[in-house]
Amino acid sequence: MVTSAHETSHRIFQDHPEVLAPVFEVLGLTPPAKAVIEAITPDATEIRPMERRVDTVLKVEPSEGDGFLLAIEAQTRRAADKGVSWAYYVAYLHAKFNLPVLLLTVCRNRPTAAWAAGPFECRVGPWATQVTRPFVLGPDTVPRITDESAVARQPALATFAAIVHSEDEGIVAILELLARGMRSFDKPTAKYWSELLEIGLEDTPARETWRELEKMVISYFPGRGTVFEEAYLDGEAKGKAEGEAKGKAEGEAKGVLRILELRGLPVSDEVRERITTCTDLARLDDWLDRAGTVGRAEDLFGE
């Protein structure tokens, strides 16, 4: 089943390709100073026999050197059929676009990362016709963020690193550092990255830790049940209730003044202001009852 955390683990590359920096570093490649990186269709379905869909496919066109494809898969646990599916993705994309393909898997725990590295072989006896070796981004290949200033410089990489290390023993310290680093962001930026991280931590204990660190802000991802959305909806409900109470108070204040006017009692500016600014409904009810019997408007306020 595709979950929010699964989506976050690979979709972050579509909007923030700077997260690919560790890939270039580990492969010993020089990150292109300028490159065009665009998402292309992840559909790898042939005619109709079986639907196959890669999580994310990016086409990378460096300003110098040859272009290539990145096929990105988010993997939370071992799956017996994945080796076959991944081999198919690589072969299909290579044939369709005539570009070399780098298969990238994102894993949050070491056992899954070790398995996902392969190799996955199509073998007959001693002969391997095809070998698939994904490049794994996991706890051992994505460095922890230990510098608070790095959060401001590289928010996408810092957020992604926290997601990858979400099952580590030291995740609490990582999240606390991330929260401190986000204090330098403007409010919309802090809201965006905070909520993206919460979605990425969806089914881990670290999510509750992060929820305690988050600030109450409006949601960027409606319908996901994040702390931002809950805060927004609670605020909206509270605002509605407050609005109804304010409207009722204004109505009762007008009623008090109307009765005094009909009885011909003078109402000073001070008395008028005290009545119209009152928000205590119980007190206004009392004034409304007494407005028909008091000798002076000022007597409304007596014991």
User: Of the ranges 11-25, 41-55, 279-293, which one carries the lowest mean pLDDT score?
Assistant: 41-55
pLDDT tens, residue by residue, 69-117: 989 898 888 988 899 999 999 999 999 999 999 999 989 889 999 999 9
In DSSP notation, 252-292 reads HHHHHHHHHHHTT----HHHHHHHHT---HHHHHHHHHHTT
Q: How far is CA 236 from the centre of its chain?
A: 20
pLDDT tens, residue by residue, 224-247: 566 656 665 566 566 666 677 777
User: Of the ranges 18-27, 46-55, 125-134, which one carries the lowest mean pLDDT score?
Assistant: 46-55
Structural tokens at position 290: 């007494």
Spans of all domains in the chain: 1-142, 143-215, 230-301
Helices (H) and strands (E) in the chain, counts: 12, 7
Question: Which of 41-45, 96-100, 174-178, 290-294 has the highest average model confidence (pLDDT)?
Answer: 96-100
User: Of the ranges 13-22, 232-241, 245-254, 260-269, which one carries the lowest mean pLDDT score?
Assistant: 232-241
pTM of the model: 0.58
Structural tokens at position 152: 């401001």
* pLDDT for the residue 14: 65
Percent above pLDDT 90 for the chain: 14
* pLDDT for the residue 293: 80
